[in-house]
């Protein structure tokens, strides 16, 4: 017996049983109101007519018979049934999708190999945050993808334009450097030209950095070929007389060379050097300038011993 024949025989037996029990066809008014209320709350037809987990409110045959007897009630009931079925379908899809995602996440977390067959170890595995969760990634897959990744035409043009402006491949960022290396290996002729320009720019940058280091480490007197020190001293001594200016400037240059004065102190300390220049020590007034002083600490001769009769100031 087929399923259709079995269903028809079941309907015939149900109709005969209801006729034998003197049960009116369709649903009584209170049961029809309860059925409509349940539809309004969102229940589906399968839940109202019985299932494996939920008891039936009414059989499907009585529902269909009631629809035949009350067409207006049937139109509203069918509309609600359709809406409830659509909502249930969306909910089932959402729940099934969440279940599938969770199962997929569990499989990925517990998998011993990545999708490309690399064995997961502590050394070739890292984690990134994605959607509020930590996702495991494979370093071998990233390395393979990076080695096969090629730049677009626009990126190559931008990179070459930056090289002509003085930049190098390494100064354009790690990602650009990696994909440009792939392009250079795939196109040797253009790659050699790009590499040559990059190396030339790098040499220029190294030379400039070396000059800057030398200039920074140089004495203030020789920095910028001595122009900074000369301008500072010249501006500081511009108000002095000509017969004193050269001597004061020489003393200030010597102080700058010996790191006893900075360029910024030249204007404030010019009076100090002018006072030293104008100082005329007396030969006999101070002991350290006396003719009786020794020539040096370990010498037995005095300054007087070096004088002859021609040096005398008196007759």
Residue 119 domain flag: no
Distances (CA, A) of 14 to 6, 17, 46, 254: 12, 5, 19, 124
In this predicted structure, which of 21-25, 38-42, 177-181, 272-276 has the lowest mean pLDDT? 21-25
Q: Under a CB-based contact definition with an 8 Å cutoff, are residues 274 and 240 in contact? A: yes
Least confident of 26-40, 45-59, 264-278: 45-59
The whole-model pTM stands at 0.34
pLDDT of residue 313: 54
User: Do 249 and 289 share a domain, yes or no?
Assistant: no
Q: How many C-beta neighbours within 10 Å does residue 79 have?
A: 11
Domain boundary pick from 217, 240, 266: 217
Read off the pLDDT of residues 112-157 as tens digits, 9 standing for 90 and up.
888 888 888 888 888 888 777 777 888 888 877 777 788 888 888 8
Determine the Cα–Cα distance for residues 251 and 240; give it in Å rounded to an integer: 14
Give 138's strand partners: 125
User: Per the structure block, which two tokens stand in for 36?
Assistant: 């409509």
Question: What region does 279 belong to: left with phi over 0, alpha with psi -120 to 50, or beta?
Answer: beta
Whether residues 19 and 100 share a domain: the answer is: yes
Contact 186, 194 (CB under 8 A): no
Do 242 and 299 share a domain, yes or no? Answer: no
Backbone φ and ψ for 120, nearest 5 degrees, come out as -80, 125
Q: What are phi and psi of 66, to 5 degrees?
A: -65, -35
User: Would residue 27 count as lying in a domain?
Assistant: yes
State phi, psi for 115 to the nearest 5 degrees. Answer: -70, -20
Question: 7 and 95 share a domain?
Answer: yes
Answer whether residue 135 is part of any domain: no
Domain membership flag for residue 116: no
- pLDDT at residue 314, as a whole number: 53
Same domain, 12 and 97: yes
Residue 255 to residue 262: CA distance in whole angstroms: 8
| Tokens 């009585």 sit on residue | 62
What's the token pair of residue 310?
A: 């021609």
Number of domains, the chain: 4
Same domain, 38 and 19: yes
Asked if residues 201 and 161 have their Cβ atoms less than 8 Å apart, the reply is: no
The contacts of residue 85 (CB under 8 Å, 6+ apart) are 44, 45
Which residue segment(s) compose the domain that 161 sits in? Answer: 146-217
Rounded Cα gap, residues 152 and 119, in angstroms: 32
Q: For residue 186, how far is the Cα from the chain centroid? A: 29
Mean pLDDT value of segment 236-252: 88
Considering the chain, what is the average pLDDT of its residues? 78
pLDDT at 15: 56
pLDDT of residue 7: 45
């Amino acid at each position: 017996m087929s399923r259709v024949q079995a269903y028809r025989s079941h309907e015939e037996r149900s109709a005969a049983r209801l006729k034998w029990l003197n049960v009116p066809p369709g649903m009584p008014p209170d049961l029809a109101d309860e059925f409509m209320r349940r539809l309004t709350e969102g229940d589906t037809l399968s839940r109202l007519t019985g299932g494996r987990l939920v008891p039936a409110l009414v059989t499907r045959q009585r529902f269909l018979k009631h629809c035949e007897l009350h067409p207006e009630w049937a139109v509203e009931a069918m509309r609600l049934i359709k809406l409830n079925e659509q909502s249930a379908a969306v909910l089932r899809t959402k729940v099934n999708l969440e279940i599938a995602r969770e199962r997929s996440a569990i499989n990925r977390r517990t998998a011993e190999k990545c999708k490309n067959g690399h064995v997961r170890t502590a050394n070739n595995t890292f984690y990134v945050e994605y959607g509020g969760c930590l996702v495991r990634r494979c370093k071998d897959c990233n390395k393979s993808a990076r080695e096969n990744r090629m730049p677009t035409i626009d990126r190559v043009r931008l990179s070459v334009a930056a090289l002509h402006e003085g930049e190098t491949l390494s100064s354009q960022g790690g990602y650009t450097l990696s994909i440009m290396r792939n392009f250079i290996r795939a196109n040797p002729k253009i790659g050699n030209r790009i590499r040559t320009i990059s190396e030339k720019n790098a040499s220029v940058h190294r030379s400039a950095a070396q000059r800057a280091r030398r200039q920074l480490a140089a004495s203030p007197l020789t920095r910028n070929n001595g122009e900074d020190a000369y301008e500072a001293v010249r501006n500081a001594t511009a108000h002095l007389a000509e017969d004193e200016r050269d001597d004061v400037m020489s003393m200030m240059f010597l102080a700058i060379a010996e790191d006893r004065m900075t360029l910024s102190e030249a204007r404030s300390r010019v009076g100090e050097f002018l006072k030293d220049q104008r100082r005329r020590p007396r030969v006999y007034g101070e002991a350290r300038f006396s003719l009786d002083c020794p020539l040096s600490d370990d010498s037995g001769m005095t300054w007087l011993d070096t004088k002859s009769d021609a040096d005398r100031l008196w007759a």
